[in-house]
Every structure is written in C-alpha cells, then in structure tokens.
Amino acid sequence: MKRMRANKAFTLVEILIVVVILGILAAIVVPQFTNAANDARGGNLSSQLRTLQNQIELYSAQNNGAYPDLSADWDDMTAGNFVKDAPSNPAWPTAATRTSVSSGAAGTGSATSAWFFQTTENRIYASYYNEPWRAGVTPGVTLTATD
C-alpha cells in the first residue's frame, strides 16, 4: 500500500496575508522611531541648556559677578574649565557651525549662530529650526529652547 504525503507548505494567499500584516505594522511603527529621534534631540538640547546656564552662573560667581564674553566663541568658558569643549547644538542644521555663538542685548535666538547669549539677562538660548532634519529644507529660525 502506498501512502500519500500531505503537502505542508503555505499557500500564496497565506503568505500574502502575512506580508500585508507586516506592512501595516511597519507603517505604524516607523513614524514612532522618527519622532523618538526628534524627541531625543530636544531632550539633549534641553539638558545642555540647563547645564550651560548653571556653568555660566558658576563662572559669574567665581569672577565677582562678571559674566563670560560669549560674543564670538566659548574661550572664556573653556579656559576656566567651566565646559570641556564648545557645546554642540544638535538641532542646528549645519554641522560646521553647531558650536557657533553670538550675543546681544535683545533676542532669544540667532539665524546665523547655533547659540545665543542674551547679555541683559545673562541667559543662554539655543537657536533651532522647525524641521532641521529633513534633507533639502532650509527653514528659518522659528523657535528657541529656553529651558
């Protein structure tokens, strides 16, 4: 007597259903990873701002109330070991200028510098863009992180 073997393969319909389900799951999950990266940049920036503001206040306390001259660079802060290196703004779209700093009596951000030091309040701000991570987009400065 000859026994017949049962086919134990998946049908084309079963495979298509699995592929469709995986596609739907991928469409739901992928945007979450994009938001997570942007949220991480925002958290990093917020943390850096708090640390920088604390170090600026420490500089002032150790220099008889004088604040650092951040009009063009971070030399006052790095020379006194208040910061190890010039901080890098992760939200700034141009890698070559992520450590650039400017200062002035008014404003909370800069279109040309990644960091802005307001001399009237002696407060550091980070300039950032609304969509700096999208390739080919050159938006203007729209927001500043202050805390």
Instruction: Tell me if 11 is assigned to some domain.
Output: no
Domain that holds residue 140: 16-145
Instruction: Tell me if 62 is assigned to some domain.
Output: yes
Residue 95 is given by DSSP the state: G
Tens place of pLDDT per residue across the chain (147 aa): 666 666 788 899 999 999 999 999 999 888 877 777 777 877 888 888 899 999 999 999 999 999 999 988 899 999 989 999 999 988 787 888 889 998 888 877 777 888 989 999 999 988 875 544 444 444 334 344 443
Residue 27: exposed, middle, or buried by beta-carbon count in 10 A (0-12, 13-18, 19+)?
Answer: exposed
- The two tokens of residue 27 are 């469409």
Instruction: Tell me if 28 is assigned to some domain.
Output: yes
Domain count, the chain: 1
Instruction: Tell me if 9 is assigned to some domain.
Output: no
User: What DSSP string describes 96-143?
Assistant: GGTT-EEEESS-S--SS-SEEEETTTTEEEEEEESSTTSTT--PPEEE
Look at residue 96 in the predicted model and tell me its pLDDT: 84
Instruction: Tell me if 22 is assigned to some domain.
Output: yes
